[in-house]
Every structure is written in C-alpha cells, then in structure tokens.
Structure 1
Amino acid sequence: TLEEAEESTRMRKRDLDNSERELEKKNNNLMEITKKHEIAKRTLDLEESKENERASAQKNVMELEGYLDKVRSLDHIRIKVKDLAKNLKAKEDAKLILLKQLESIEGKFLKATKELEETREKSIKIPYYRAMVEEKEKGYNKKVKLDNLEKTFQLSNIAYFKAEEKYATAEALYQKTKNEFAQLQLVWYKGQAAVLAKSLEIGKPCPVCGSNDHPNKAGQEQNVPTENQLNQAKLELEAIEKEKDRKKDFLHQNKLEKEKLQKEIYSIKEEFVDLNIDINQMKEDLEKSRVALNNALQEEKRLKSLEEEFVNIKKNQDNTKVNLKNAEDELLEINKIYGIAQGDLAGREADLPKELSSLDDLMKSLDKARSQAVKLMKSYMDAKQSYESTYGLFISAKTSQEEGVKTLDEAKNKYLSEKERFSLRLKEKEFAKYSEYENAKRQQEYMDLLEKEINEFEGSLRSKEDRLSRAIKSSEGLVRVDIQNLQEILQIEEGEREKVANIENSLRDKIAKEKTTLEELVSIDKLVGDKEKEYENVGYLAQISNGVNAHGLTFQRFVLGALLDDITVAATKRLKRMSKGRYHLRRTLDRARKNAAGGLELEVFDTYTGIERPVSTLSGGETFLASLSLALGLADVVQTYSGGINLDTIFVDEGFGSLDPESLDLALKTLIDLQQGGRLVGIISHVPELRERIDARLEINISDMGSRATFKVL
C-alpha cells in the first residue's frame, strides 16, 4: 500500500540517518585509537631499547639467587654456632653450679660425718648412762627410804615410849586394882566364912571341909562387901585388865614395828658405803645422770635421722660427682663441636662477599634486584600488551569504520530506491505532490499513537529476542532436569524437615521442663545450702566421729585407742621381759589400707634395729608373746578401770609350741609371777616340756575306750 511504501521510505531514511551518525562515531573512535596506538608504538620502541638493561637485571637476580643456598647454610651454621655458644655457656654455668653444689655437699658431708660420729659415741653410752641412772635411782630411793625409815623409826620410838608409859600406868593401875579386889574378895570370903560359922553345929560335919570339929570358927568381919559389890569390883578389874592387855598388845605391836624398822634400816645401811652422803647431792647426781641419759636417748633418736641424712648426703654427693663428670665430658664434647663449627663458619664467610654474608642483607639485595627486574619486565610487557591491545583496537576500529562507510552507502542506495518507488506509487495514486498525500492521511495524533505502539512492540520484540538469544546461549551444555525426581527429593526433604521440626518442638518442651527442673534444683540447692549452714557444725562433728578424717578414726575408736594405749603400756612391761627388752608395743595411727578404719593398729619398736614395724612382721613365737602380753595387759587395765573387780583366773590356749626354749622360759616365768601374785593361771597345751614345770595338771588321755581326764598334783 501507499502507507507501507511511505513507512518503508521513512524507515530507510531513519536507517540512513543512523548509519551517518554511526559512521561519524566510528571515524572519531578510529582517530582516538590511532593516536593511542601511535603512543603505544613509541613506548614499545623505547622499552625494546632497554633489552640489555633487562638482561643485566635478570643476570643480577640469578647471581644473587645463586648465593641463597650458601647464605642459608651460612646462617644455619651461624645459628648452630650461636646455639653451641649458648649451650657451651649453659654447660659452663651448670658445671660451676655443680662445683658449688659439690663444695656445699662436701661441707655438709664432713659436718654430717662429724655429727654422726659424735651422736654414735653418745648413743653407745646409753647402757652406761642407764645403768648409772638405775644405780643412782636405787641408791637415791634407798637413801630416801632410809631417811623416811629413820624418821618413821624416831616416831615409832616415841610412840613406843609413850605406849610403854601407858602400859606401865595401866599395869600399875591393874596391880593396884587387883590387890584391892583381892583384899575385897578376902573380906568377902571371911564374911561368908562367918556366916557359915554361924550355921555350924558341934558334931555335925562342916559343909566346906567335912570336919565334925569346929575348934576355930570364923568371927564376924567389919565392912563385908555384898556379892554385888564384889561382882562389880571384879568387872572393873576385868575391864582394867583388858585395857592393860590392849596397851600391852599395842606396846608389843610398836615394839615389833620398831624392830622391823630397825632391821630395814640396818639392811639398807649395810648396802651403803658412805652413810654420810647428802641426799640433795644424791638427787643432784641422779638428775645429772638422768639428763645425760635423756640426752643420749635423744641422740639415739636423732641417730636414725642423721644416718638417713648422711646416706642422702652421700648419695647426693655421689650423684653430684657423676653429674659433674658428665657435665665436664659434655663440655669437652660441645667445646670440640663448637671449635669445628667456628672454623666451618669462618671458611664459608670467606667465600661470600662481605655485604652478602647475612641472609637479611642478601634477601634485601635480592628483593631489590628482583623488583628492578620485574619492574623493567613489567614496563616492557605493559608496553607490548598496550601496543598489541591498541593495534587490535586500531584494526577493529578501522574495519568497523570501513563497514560503516559500506553500510552508509547501502543505506543511501536503499533510501533512494525506496524514495523513487514511493514517488511512483504517489503518481499511481494520482497524487501530484506529496502534500496532497499528507492532507489525505488521518489525523496526526492517531498516527503518533500507532507509531508509538509500533515502536513499543518492536522494542519489546527486540528485548525478547535478546533474552531468547541469551537464554539459548546460557542453556548450551545443560542437561534437562527430571522434575519428578526433584519432586520426590523435595517430598523426602519435607519429611525430614517435619521430623526436625518435631525434634525441635520436643527439644523445646524438654528445655522448658529442664528449666523448670533447674529452677526447682536451684531452690532445693538454696534450701540445702541453708540447711548445710544450719547443721554445718553438727555435720562436721558427725563426719569426725564417723571417721571422715585423715586417720580414719571414729569417736568409738578414739575412746578405744585411749584404752589401748594403757593396755600397750601394761603389755610392754611383760613383753620387754619375755623378749629380753627387744620389743615395745605401740599404738599407731597408720592404716594398712586407705579405706580401712584407723586408730587401733599396733606396731612394735625393735630396739635391736631401732625401727618400728607392723606386728604382722613378727614371727609365730613373737606373735604369741605379744598376744599373751596384750591379754595380761588387758586384764591389768580392766582391773584398774573396774574399781575393785579382780580378774583372778587366766587361761592360755596353745601357742607355746612355737617358742624356742629361752622364750618358753621367759613366758613361763611371767605366768609363774602371775600365779605367785594370787592368780589362777591355766595353760592348755600339748607341749611335753610343760609337763615337767606344771605342778597341778588335768591330763586328757585318748584310748580305744574314749578320752579320760585325770588330775595330777606334784
């Protein structure tokens, strides 16, 4: 149609205008790129002229890199030499320290040796001091006893004289009363004779003598007492006689006591060499001996620690000597290695330039050389890249400009052709001029609207075509996704998400419960804390009394331990005798196991070795003696604590078979002493040697008819 021809002509006109504008842009771009290309060409020519400079810089880098291994090795050797120097200094310091330690230890060793010898000399004198103390105690006690006896004797003598005087007075009173009673009795008899005489008849027998003759009858006496008076006088005489006899017995008792004291005084005086020695002097000598003995005993106690200290010092001295010898050997070895390393270092330093002998200096020079070489190479490469880039842009711009000229010519030809065709169409439609055609067209507003819609459509079409082209390009090489598989995966993932959501909800509920529980626990903890504070002292006492302490000692065991201390003291007296002074029983707070209760464990102090050890280390016979001693000690302590209750009988069952003859003698002697002290001692044993020593036995004999018991008393 005519409108289409007109529109086609207009389009060709627009294409022509666009081609002219595009060609102008390309001409301007070509001129700008041509200038840049010429500048890049001149820069490249300049950089190519620096080829020798670049080669020299690269050579310098290679030379410096060639020194790297040598300098690294040199630095390694320097570090090694430095470390060796430090090690050498440390070894020298260690040697000096060891020398000082050895000097100090040798001083301690000499001091400990001297102190140990002195302590041994003092401890050796213990038997001498003990014997001296025993002798002086015996003498002092006898002197005290003698003085007390003499004082008692003086008092007894005075009491005797007083009793003698009282007895003499009582005897005189008795004789006087006796004479008076005899006289009174005689008068009474005479009075009775007079009464009898009154009843006598001549020729009749006398009721007293039977005589029929009564030539001399008794006459009547004056002041004849009555029978009651006579009986009263007799009672008084008997009372005075009893008092006299009592005073006589008292006098006799005083005499016996006086004689006993005289014998004791005489017996003690016979043992004294010098009776005139002052008791205060004896006491002073005794105290001096006791002090000397205590000092010796203290030295004996110190002896063990001194011996251990001496052994430790000697061991320390030997170890220090060994360490010193090792240090000297190590010092010689390190000194040798240090000398070799120093020589190697000096040789390597001589092979390198002085300014490059340090790795830091070399790295600085190398970094500088590399930087220069890189800078030169970068300048060249940048110039070359710039030239190549501008050259490519120049060719592209020139080609684009030539294409623009060609496009402009084509657009011009198309426009002229369309214009000619449009003119022919106008003539065909009988439009003489174009203005007539313009007037014949629709209103301009409508045409503008149509043109706008057309332009928008064309723009949208081109945009979608571009998007389609980009999408096709982007999707090249892609694989079609399986939507169904993705949906299945999505379904599985949603199931997992739901599970996780359920777990999350469960955890949230659990957290809420835990928070509630935590709040309750905090509240309970606070309540418990308040209660703990309230009952802290009670709880502490309960723990202590229940054995929650360092010794595992309960309150019950603490009380029993106090009783056991008394038992061990009493038992030790007998055990010392039965073991010839070797063993002493002691209570110990040590425990065999950490989880065992403590406080009632026993140990023995061995005076032969001077060390304490558990009772479990005793032999069978020694264990029996210790058990026997404990049983006897327990009996003594029970009697002491019970207040008047006596344990008069003790039975010992077996154990004698494990004793050697000497120990058997000592054990029996102890039991015999108990028997002589008033106790009944029964021994149950099958040891034949005991039969000869037991006076009263209940023997059990076994026969085919059964057992038979018989008493035998020797």
Structure 2
Amino acid sequence: MRLHRLEVTAFGPFSGTEEIDFDALSDAGLFLVQGRTGAGKTSVLDAVCFALYGQVPGARNRAKGLRSDHAAAGSVPQVVLETTVRGRRLRLTRSPEWERPKLRGTGTRKEQHKVLLEELVRGAWTGLSNRIDETADLIGDLLGMNAGQFCQVAMLPQGEFAGFLRAKADDRRKVLEQLFATEVFADVEKWLGERRAATGREADRLRADVLSIADRIAEVTGAPPPHAPEAPDADGVPRPRSGEPSAEPLDDVAALPGWAARLADAHTGMRAEADERRAGAAADLQAARAALEDARALADRRRRHADALARRDALGDGAEERSRIGSRLDAAARADRAAPLVRAVGERQGHAVQARRRTDDARSRVAALLPPDPSEDVLVKAERARRDEIAKLEGARADADRLRGVDTERGSLATEFGRLEPEQARLAAALADLPAAVEARRAALGEARLAAAGLPGAEAALADARRRLDAAQRRDQVEHLLAEAEAAHRDAVDAAQEARDRVQELRQARLDGMAAVLADDLRDGEPCRVCGSTEHPAPVASLAVVPTEDRVERAQAEYEAAGARREEESTRVGRLRAEHDGLLETAGETTTEALAAELDGAREALAAAEARAAEAERLEAVLHRDERELERVRDAARDNDRRLTENRARDRELAAEQERLRAELDEARGEDATLESRIVRLGGEAGALAAAVEAQREAARAADELAAARARAKAAAQAQGFRTPEEVLAAELPDEDQGDLRDRLRRFEDEEAGVRDLLNDPDLVAAAAAPDPDLPDLHERFAAAESAHTEAASAAHTAALRCDRLADLRARLDTAVRAWEPAAGRHEVARRLAGLASGKDPANRRAMSLPAYVLAARLEQVVAAANERLARMSGGRYELVHTIEKAAGDRSRSAGGLGLRVADAWTGQDRDPVTLSGGESFITSLSLALGLADVVTAETGGAEIGTLFVDEGFGTLDAETLDEVMDVLDGLRDGGRAVGIVSHVAELRARIPAQLRITKERAGSTAKIVV
C-alpha cells in the first residue's frame, strides 16, 4: 500500500482544509513529520487510519469528537485519502459523526458517519460502495489486516512497544492476540474440550445402555445384577437366587456378553425339563378327554334314538291335514294356468269402452265440417283436401317475409334521405367559402417566414453582447485586484529584503560577539576550548547583546516565509495581468453601461424575431389544418352525391316489388285476416279430421279383440276342469300362500324321512341296547388331568418366554457393547487431545495451552526479525532472547512461553528489559516494532506497506546511536518504500530535508510540505 494524497477538513486540530501530497514526500524516500507539541503530527496518522478503517488508533478512538473545535460552525469534517493497494488506485472519503447546527431554529442535529469508496478506472473515478460495513470488508480484504494490525504495522507506535518490551507475559499475550489471529487455536482448544465432554457423555450413555440391558437380563433370569453380586458361598461361587442359575459378578463392560451366555446355557436346560413334564401331562389329558368324549357320544345316541320313536308316533296323527293341503295346491296350480286369459277379458272390455268414447268426441269436433254420420272415406278425403291447401299456402310465406323486408329497407332509405339532403346543402356552402380562406392563410404565412429569417442573427448578436458585457465586468474587477496585488507584491518585496537584512545583521552580530561568548565561559585553571591554555590573561569583553542561535534561526525562518510570500504575490500579479490582457481583447475599452445598453437592444431584437417565428409556426399549422379541411369537404361532397343517387334508384326498385307482393298475398289470404291465420285454421281442421279417423279405427279394433279374449278364456277354463271362468278366479291362490302350503307339506315329508333314517341307524340301535355310561366320574378324571396339564404347560411356556427374552436381550447386549467400544475409544482419544491442547495432560511437558504455544512461536519469529536490526543499532552489543519459562507469580496457562530477556554481549549476562536506559529501550523497542511489523504482514498475507510511519522516541538517542538508527530506517526504503518519522527533535530537521511541517496557531493547525 502506498499513500498518494491526503486532504483533511475540520478534522482534529486542522480547522480548514489541508492537503498533503505524499507522492512529493515519498520521492525522497525518508521524510520528517515535524511540528511543535500538540500541533497535530499524530493527527495526520489518525486521518490516514480513519480514512481506511473509520477509526483512529489507540485510546483516541474512544473520544467521539473527531471534528475540529477550531472549525466554523457549519464546516463539514471530512478526510479524503488517495492510495494504491495491490495495484488498484483508490480514493476514500469519510465524514465522522458530528453535531451540525439546525437549518431552522436553534440547537444541533446529529450527522451520521458517512463513507464513499471510489476506484480510478480508465482515467475516471468509479464508485465502489457508500456503505460502512461493505467498505470495511473491501479494505480489510485488500490490506489483509484489521485496524489494530495496520496501526501496529504501518505506524509503529514506539511508545506502545516500549511498554510491550517491559510488560508482563500476560499483558504481552493480550497485545499479541490483537495482532495475530489466534482465535482459531482458542476455538480448537474449546472444540477439543467440548469434544471430550461430548464423547464422554456418549460413552457414559452407551455404558449406561449396556448396564441397563444387563440389569434386565438379571431381572429376567432372577440372577443378581453384574455390578451388585450376591455374597459367594464357601466355595467362592455366588449363591443362586430362588432356585435360579448362578451368575458371576462382573464390572467390566466387555465381559458382560460372556456372563449373559452362561446364564442362557443354564436356562436352556431348565426349558428342556419343563417341556418333558408338559409332554407327559398332555398324554394323560388326551386319554381322559377321549374317555369322556366316548361316554358323551353314547349318551347322545341313546337320546336321539328315543327322540326318533316319539316323533314317529306324532307323524301318524297329521296324515289328514297333509291330504287337504295337497288338494288345495293342485286346484291352485290348474287355476294359475287359466287365470291370465280370464283376466285379459276384463282388460279388453275396458279398452273397448274407452275407444268408443274417444270416437264420439272426435266426430263431435268435426260435425260442422261434414254431412251427418260421415263414413271413414269421407273423413279421409276432407283431411287430404286441407293438407293440400296448406302446402300451397306454405310457399306464400316467403313472399310475406320478403314484403316485410322491403318495407323495412324503404324506411331506412327514407331516414338516409333525411340526413343526406341537408348535408349536401351544408357541404356546398362550405365549398364556396374555404378556397378563399386557404389562399389568405398562405399569404400571411409567407410574410411571417420572411420576418422570422433574422432569428439566428439576433441570437448570435445577443450571445456576443452578453459575452462582451461579462468580460467588461470581469475586466473592471481584475483591474482592481491587479492594483491590490501589485501593492501587495511591493510590500512583500520590501518585507523580504528587510528580513534578509535582519538575518545578515544577526549573523554578523553573533560572529562579532562569539569571542565574548567564549570569554564568558573561561575559568581559571580550566583549558580554553580554542587554544587549550589554562591561563587567560586578557579575555574579550563586549557591551553589546549577542544574539542566540534560536534568534538567528527564527530570523532565518521569517526570511524564508517572507520570500515565499514574495513569490506567491509575484505569481498572483502575473496571473492577474495575463487575465486582464485577455479580457481587453474581448471587451475593449467600452464601458459596462454602453455594453449593457447593447445587450438590452439585442434582447429586444431577439424577442421580436422569436415572436415572428412563433407566429410563422402558428400560421403554418393553421394553413395545414385549413388545407386538410378543404380536401375533406370536397371528398365528403362527392361521396354524399353518390350515395343520394344510389339510394333514389334503390327506392324505385323496392316500390315496384312491394306492390306486386301485396297483390299476391291478398289473393292467397282469402277471407282470413292474414296468411298465417289461414294456415293455422286449415292445420287445425286437418288435425281434427285425422283424429276422428284414428278414433273410429281404434274402436273397431277394440271390439274385435274383446270377442276373441272371451272365447279364449272360456276354452281355457273348461280345459283345466272348471265349468266357468268365475270358478278359475275362485280357485286362485297368491304365490305367498302357495309357498307356505308347499313348505308345510315339505316339512312333513322331511321329518318323516329323518325319523325313518334315525330308527334304521345301526349305531343308534346298538346304543339303545347298551347300558347307560357314568358321566360324573369321567368329568372328575378329565378335570384333574386338565389341571395337571395347565400347570406343566404354564411352567414350560414361562421357561420358553424366559429363554426367548434372554436371547433377545443377549443380542441387544452384544449390539450395545459393540456400540460402546468405539465410543469409549473416541473418548479416550478426545480426552488426551483436549488435555494436550489445554496443557493439563502430563504429556504436555510445558503445561502450555495451544493458543499460548502459537503466540510463543510468533513471538520467537518477531524476536528473530528484531535482532537483525537491534544488532546494527546497538553495535552488536544487545540481542533479544525469547524465553518459555513463566515469570514469578504467573499462574495462567496462557502466559507461558511469552517471556523476553536482553542478552548483553559485553557482560555475557541476560538482562531484564526494565534495566535498559532510555536510549537503549528506544532502539530495542523500535527493533521489536519493526520485527513485529514484518511478521504481522507475512502472517496476515497483507499488502506490502509502501508508506511507513515511525512515531516519536528519537530524543533519547545520542548522536552515534542516532546514526545507527537512521541507517536502519534508510534500509527500510529498499524496494521503493517511503518512511515517515514523526518527531520534533531539532537534529532530525537538519538530517532529513523532506519535511511535512505542522504549524500550531490559535485558529487551528496548518500543514506545509518542504522538499
């Protein structure tokens, strides 16, 4: 990173706007930032840091007021920094938070922190961001370091490193943690501790799962828990519990599967014994059940045989009822075959009656159209005659529709005539007036265009008059300023000459009085600094006051300031004289009053020309509108005449067609009101005649069908054994009643067959002949066998469930142990690593935490880099030594490994840094600061620092040591790096010609570059 330009306004001690050209200072490689105490030397560094990061170094950042107290009330505090970072030219503009006066009323209003980041791209500044957080991220990424690291690396606050050199290890750790990113190592230590706790919890949880399963195995088997065994007997074997197999006490989780296997083997034998007892009890139960079932079967057969004898006697009493049911079912079956034909006669008789009624109604409706009692042929002929006439009249309907269309069209034409004829008269009147009006507009437009042709000339004349008037006004101002500048230049020349004379006088007076000054220092017996003699017989005495060196230097500074003022005034006079000559060429000697009058005349001429130009534009638009109106009227008149001619011809054609159609329709309508009413009347009469014909035919068919149905019904009744159709209907039975009778008959038959089969069954016959069995005794024997079997089966089932449950728990125990073993291994690894990282494990012989170890390594690198420069600045006498032992009283794990000692080659002893003198402390701490800057830059991967500042501390050095320090600082310029020294030491002003001088005044500080 290289600084180019810094501009500060109302910032810190700077009340106005001060611009610092770092390019001019960097050309010298080494430059001095000098000024009196409190002038604002460090504020320049604050402005650089604030522009980059929005904050100032150290404790000054806690002071919120960065705005200058000397600045005017409304001045906006602002810092502008141009810099190049990694080949990119950037410009940062920042304004800190400040209180500005309200625009209205009294009081103040807070203005927030603002920032603008720009980049120079192809010669133009392009905005990158105006957000504070986004700008901070961009600058941090480009520089590769945060604000604290930048302040330590680029500004080398020497006073802080003197404290760093003498600090305790714990305080030194806090500084190093701010500079180096050790958070990741602290996070690693924390993560390892959390990992140790997490793996421990996991291993404990899995061990608890294993022990829980083992407890359940012990509960299932009745054995003592493996971690709480029973007291062993005299042989050393644990006593079993309640007749259960014995179990060995085990505390080792890995041995629990073997313990469970031994329990499972013991319970397998117990299960086999229980299964054998259950098999014997099952055989006894089977024999008792078979004897009981046989006895029950014999008793049941004896009962069934006795029941069959009783039912056979009961069936003999119901023979008469069976015969009656059979006769009734036979008559109902014959009636079912003839009943449909008998019922059909009634249906046909009803149809015949309805047909005769419809015939009478239809003939009554057409009685007025025909002679009395017409035959079917007369009805048919009358219908056909009306249908033929309707067909003829249907053809006349199209003529009626056409007549209505002709009437409508003639009405539309009449309406159109009422619109077109007045329009024809209006268009004729317009055609008589418009041509003359268009010609008048065209003549007026020509005159207006001629008048507007002078508009460009009037505009040019106005611009020339305005330019000459502006030049004349500036000419009068410059004449006044030139007179003032010439007077000021004469005064500056006189003041510079007077200052030069005063410097020469003071230097001559000091030379003249130097002998008296030396004589004042002579003492008897002491050698003279000029001749070395110890005797002083005639010392020079001077009555005049000898000026001091400081007074001569002040006079020289006043002379230099007067010379600079003279050059400035000379430059100002030349600039004003050149501007005055150029203005004379433009305005001449004409007065401003005359030029103002010319400008007013030019404005009036331009206004008149603009008015005529506007009038020409208006007339051109009006002419164009009138021409379009004339053309439109002509087209409309032609179209109107054409449409009138076409409509009159069409009306004549429609009138002739209308007369013809009316004559034809009157003839077709006859005596009816309309053609449509005639068609409706004839259609109704034809329909009535057709209905009468159909009704007469339907009545004849119904009478024939009734006679045929009566003949079929009589024949069917006689064929089924009935004398009349009425007997058929009397013998009918509903299907439900017939079904009930058939079911009763079937039950009689089925029961008779069942009884017959039972009485013929040999088993039942044999059982009836056998003795009656003893069922109560057999029930008692079966109950005893069943109770014995239930007890044996329950014992066997319990043993089987226990073995199955034990097998399941063993599988779960094996799985739980396999899950616990890797978790226990992971916990052991995590425990050891966490102990090493925290320094608590015995394997960590130095008992140092991981962050402390990393910081110790970084400090070792810093010491190595610092010793390269310390050896040169101390003439090879001093060397920094990094120690890893804790200081007395340091008990913190993070404080170890951060000790510093100073090796003195002259004495061969290591010294505490607090024993160094002021100058020795300065060169040692400066070496440490430079070494730390190198290590931090390399560690963060940051941009190369092209502009470096070293802040204060040179006043403690002797001349020889100062030479060594300056040689080291000169070496920092390798690779084009610029080094700025912030100091008020007078000797450095003579050694370093390139200077940034900060001057403190009552109204605020100012900055000036001297190269």
TM-score, structure 2 as length reference: 0.22
Could you say which structure has the greater relative contact order, defined with CA pairs below 8 angstroms and 6 or more residues apart? Answer: 2
TM-score, structure 1 as length reference: 0.30
